[in-house]
Structure 1
Amino acid sequence: MNFDRRTLLGSTALLAGCATLGGAPGSAPRLFVRRDGMRLMAGREPYRFAGANIWYAAYLGADAPYGDRARLGRELDALKAMGVTNLRILASAEEGPLRNAIRPGFRGPGRDYNQTLLGGLDHALAEIGRRGMRAVLYLTNFWEWSGGMMTYLSYVDGGRYIDMNDPAHPWPAFANANAAFYRNPAAIGLYHDWIRATVTRTNTVTGLRYADDPTIMAWQLANEPRPAGDAAHADLPAFYAWVRDSARLIRSLDPNHLICTGSEGLKGSLEQADIVLAEHGIAEIDYLTAHIWPNNWDWVRQADLPGTFQRGEALSGAYLAQHVGFARQLGKPLIIEEFGYPRDGGSNDPAATTVYRDRFYGLIYAAAERDMAEGGPIAGTNFWAWNGEARAQHPDFRFRAGDHAYMGDPPHEPQGWYGVFTGDSTVRLIAQHAAAIARLR
C-alpha cells in the first residue's frame, strides 16, 4: 500500500461452510470481460466479483528456490472456497538500487528479462484459470517496493534515485521525483518495451497468448500512479499523455482485455476531482478504481481504533460515495480494488483480533452490495491483501533479504499489518460478501 500462531486446523474450521465451491479445479473462463456502459459483462451476464490482492502469485509460481507452487495451489483453493473469483497480481518488478524492493525482479535495465519469474506468472495464471478465477495484472508501480518508476528513472539517468522514507528526502520528495517519469521518453520507452513483451507473451503452461487468455480480466498501467506528490511538481499534460499513450499501446497489441489505471482515486490525484475525471475520461480507460486506506491517511489511529473508528467510518463512506459519483459522471464501472485496515491494538500478529477491521470491511461490502443491487457502477471489490498461511519470519515482523514467506504486506511494511490470514474472522465476512454477490441477478 503498507511466535504463537493460529493453526491451519482453525482456519479450516472457519472456511468450512463459507462456500460450496471447494478447491477442485473448475472450468477456465471462456469469455472475455467487457464494458457495457457502467457495467462489466461476461457474455450476456453482468460480471461482478468479490476479489483479493495477492501481488506475490508469480513469485510462488516460479520454479525456483524462492517459489512454492504447492503453497500457491493451497492459497488459491482457500480463496476459491471463500468465493473469491478475482485476483489482482504483480506482473512487473524492476530490479535496481531501491531499499525494500522485492528481489529478484522481472527485469533490469536491458531486455534480458527474468524468464524464471515470467514462468512463475505463467504458472500462476494457469492455476487461476483452472479454478475459474480471473486476474488483473499491473505493469509497474509508483512505489518502491517492486522497483517501479523510480527504478526506471535510475536506469536512464546515470543511476540517480531517491528512496521512499529517506530522512534526507522527506515526503513528498519521493513522489515529486517520481513525476519525472512521465516526461522522460527513455524511461517510458523501457516501460513500453515491457508492455510489448508481456501483453504479447505466450503462456508456457497453457500455450495461450496472454492477449488471447480470458483468465486475464484487465491490464493495469501501474499500481497507484500519482501525477506527483504536490501540485507544484505535477506536469498534468505529461501525466495524461502517459496514461493515454500507454493505454493505446496496450489496445493496439490486445483488443480483448480491459484497461485501467490502478489509481487510488482522489487521494492519488492531488485530491482534485478534475484530475480523477480527466485521467479516467480517456477513451481507452475502461473503468475507474478507488483505494481506501483510513489508517494511512490519518482518518483513524491504529493505537486508538475504538476512539477513532467512527470518524474513519464517516470519511470512508463519503470517499466511496464520491467515487461512485465520478463513475456515474463518466458512465464507467468502478472497482474498489484496495482497502485495508490494521488489526486490533495495532498488532501485526495473527493471534490479535480484527473486530474493527471486520467493521470496516463490512462498511465497504455493504456499500458495494447495495450499489450493485441498485444497478450502480460498482462491479467488484478486492481487499488488500491475502496473507493466507504465511507467517512473519522474524520477531520484529520485518521482511529481510532472503525471506520467501511472501504475504500481502509488501517488503517495506510490517509483515501482518494489513493482510488477512487463514484463521481470521475476516475470512467468514469475505465469504458472506461473495455469497451475497453471487445471489444478485
Structure 2
Amino acid sequence: MKPTSPQEVVAEFVDTNCQSFYFVGGNVWEALEVAGGLIKPPLGGSSALKIDDLFSQAQDNGLKVVRLFVGGVTPDLAVQPQPGRFNESAFRALDSIIKAANDHDVKLILSLTDNWHVQDGKLGYVLWANQTDPDTFFTNPQIIGWYKNFIHTITSRVNTQTGVPYNQEPAIFAWDLINEPRTACNVTSPNASCDASAAKSIQNWIQNVSGYLKTQDSNHMVTVGEEGFYPAGSPNVNRNPTPGTAGGDWPTKTGQDFLNNHRPATIDFASFHLWPDNWEINDTSNAPVKGLAAASDWVNAHLSDAASLGKPAVLEEFGKDVPLPITAQGIASKRNPYFASVFSRLNDSITHKGVLKGAAFWEWHYLPGSDIVKETIFPLPNDTTWTNIIVPTAQNVVKHQPHTPVPNCVPG
C-alpha cells in the first residue's frame, strides 16, 4: 500500500494524482491527553468522540492539515517515559488520532520531540543521560541513539485501530524533527557569549537524524520544525526580530540557521514560525521594524530562501495575542490584520504558483465549554478571526487548488 500523503516534487506538494496541494491548517495542543482520556470534554461526551469532532470540524471547514505533538504534554501520558520504554496507552491515543484524521481526509504534521518540555522532549533525553548541558541533546551519542530508537519505534508501529504501520499511513503529511530547536545559550542576556560549535551541532544533528528517519520511513516528508532565525553573517540577519528586551541580536544566538538547516536533501520542505508578541515585534514594541511590516518582512525572507533552495515552504505556526478583556474590537484590530496578511500571502502564492504551500494557525480550540477566559491566543468559533478569515480562506484554498498536473511527477 502506498500512502496518499502529498509528496514534495520540485517546490510543490503533490497528491497521488500529481495535483498541487495547498492548505490552511491549525495547531492542536494536548490532543494526546484528550484522546487518552486525561482531559475530559467540558460539555460531556467521550474523548474519542471529541477527537472525531476535531477532524470533522476540519473537514467541514476546509482545514486540510492539523499539526500536533507525538508526545504527551503531561508526564502521565509520555510516549517514552524512559529510554526504550514506551507507553502503550499513549500510543493507542495516538492511534485513535491518526484514525480519526484518516476518516475525515485530514493530514497530520507530527512533531517527534520538543525543545521546551521535559517529557518526550529534549530536556528529558538530557536528564536520562545524566548530562547538565542541554546542548548535549544534539551531540551525545547515547542520546542520539535513544532518539533514533524512538524514530524506529514510532515509524514501525502498527496502528491498533487500522492495522497500518505509521510509515505507510496515508493520514501522515510530514514529520517535524523537533519543535523549535535552540541551543542553551542565554538569549535573554544582551552580552551572552555563546558557543559557536553549539550552532554547528544543530546542523550536524539535522543532517544525521533526518537521514536516519528517511531510512525508516521513505514514504513521508520531513522538515525541521524551527522558528527560522538567521545567524550572524546571514544576508537576511536584518530580518530577525529585533531588538526586544533580550538584546538586538538574540535570534543569532539560538543556533538556528534557516537556510542551511533546510538545505539537506533529507529535508523535504522549509518550515518556519511567526510570533510577533513573543518576539517583541508587535505594534507596541520598540523594534525599529514592527507590527505588520515586520511580519511581512519575516514571511517574505523565508519564502525567498525556500525558493532559492527549490523547496516548498510552510508557515507551520503563527499566532497573535488579543489583550484582556477580549472584545470583538480587540480581535478585529489586534489579531485579524495578522491573520488576514498571512492568508492573503497564501492566496497570492496559489495564484502565482509561489513556494508558500500552507499556513497553520496557533492555537485551534476545539473543545467547547472550556474555561479559556485568560487564553488570549485562541481564535474561537464565533470570533471574526474564524468566521471571516480562517474558514473563508480554507474553503477558498480547497476550491482553487490548481488542477493542472505538476510536470515531472509520476502518479501513484
Q: Shorter-chain TM-score: what band?
A: 0.7 to 0.9
- Whether 2:117 is the aligned partner of 1:144: answer yes
The secondary structure found in structure 1 opposite 2:365 is: strand
Aligned twin of 1:341: 320
Q: For the residues of structure 1 that align with 2:277 and 2:19, how far apart are their CA atoms?
A: 37
Equivalent of residue 255 in structure 1, options 218, 232, 236: 218
Q: For the residues of structure 1 that align with 2:307 and 2:372, how far apart are their CA atoms?
A: 46
1:116-168 alpha-carbon deviations (Å, 9 max, x no partner)? 1110100000000100110011100011275511121011116x5xxxxxxxx
Aligned residue identity for 1:424? D
Give the C-alpha shift of residue 213 in structure 1: 1.0
1:340-366 alpha-carbon deviations (Å, 9 max, x no partner)? 0012x344x688851121111001000
Aligned twin of 2:105: 132
Check conservation: 1:389, 1:422, Cα contact below 8 A: no
1:25-65 alpha-carbon deviations (Å, 9 max, x no partner)? xxxx9523211111111121001111111132222222567
Equivalent of residue 335 in structure 2, options 343, 357, 360: 357
Equivalent of residue 287 in structure 1, options 265, 269, 275: 269
The secondary structure found in structure 2 opposite 1:354 is: helix
Give the C-alpha shift of residue 275 in structure 1: 2.0
- Whether 2:332 is the aligned partner of 1:370: answer no
Give the C-alpha shift of residue 375 in structure 1: 1.0
How many matched pairs?
Answer: 366
Structure 1 runs of 4+ aligned residues shifted over 6 Å read: none
Aligned twin of 2:194: 232
Check conservation: 1:179, 1:233, Cα contact below 8 A: no
Give the C-alpha shift of residue 393 in structure 1: 4.4
Q: For the residues of structure 2 that align with 1:389 and 1:350, how far apart are their CA atoms?
A: 20
Check conservation: 1:58, 1:123, Cα contact below 8 A: no
Please, what TM-score do these two structures have when normalized by structure 2?
A: 0.81
- Aligned-pair RMSD on alpha carbons? 2.8
The secondary structure found in structure 2 opposite 1:295 is: coil
Structure-2 change in CA distance of 1:157 and 1:391 (3 Å) = farther
Q: For the residues of structure 1 that align with 2:372 and 2:311, how far apart are their CA atoms?
A: 44
Aligned twin of 1:111: 84
Q: For the residues of structure 2 that align with 1:417 and 1:145, how far apart are their CA atoms?
A: 25
Q: For the residues of structure 2 that align with 1:102 and 1:296, how far apart are their CA atoms?
A: 26
Q: Identity of counterpart residues, as a percentage?
A: 22
Aligned residue identity for 2:380? F
Please, what TM-score do these two structures have when normalized by structure 1?
A: 0.76
- The unaligned stretches of length 5 or more in structure 2 are 41-45, 188-192, 232-239, 241-250, 403-412
Q: 1:162-201 maps to which residues of 2 (within 5 A)?
A: 177-201=133-157
Check conservation: 1:350, 1:421, Cα contact below 8 A: no
Aligned twin of 2:48: 69
Q: For the residues of structure 2 that align with 1:46 and 1:259, how far apart are their CA atoms?
A: 18
Structure-2 change in CA distance of 1:47 and 1:440 (3 Å) = closer
Q: 1:203-282 maps to which residues of 2 (within 5 A)?
A: 203-229=159-185, 232-234=194-196, 235-266=198-229, 270-271=251-252, 275-282=257-264
Q: For the residues of structure 2 that align with 1:391 and 1:383, how far apart are their CA atoms?
A: 21
Check conservation: 1:222, 1:262, Cα contact below 8 A: yes
- Whether 2:20 is the aligned partner of 1:49: answer no
- Whether 2:45 is the aligned partner of 1:85: answer no
Check conservation: 1:52, 1:87, Cα contact below 8 A: yes
My pick for the range that moved more, 247-256 or 144-153, is: 144-153
The secondary structure found in structure 2 opposite 1:420 is: coil
Aligned residue identity for 1:421? L
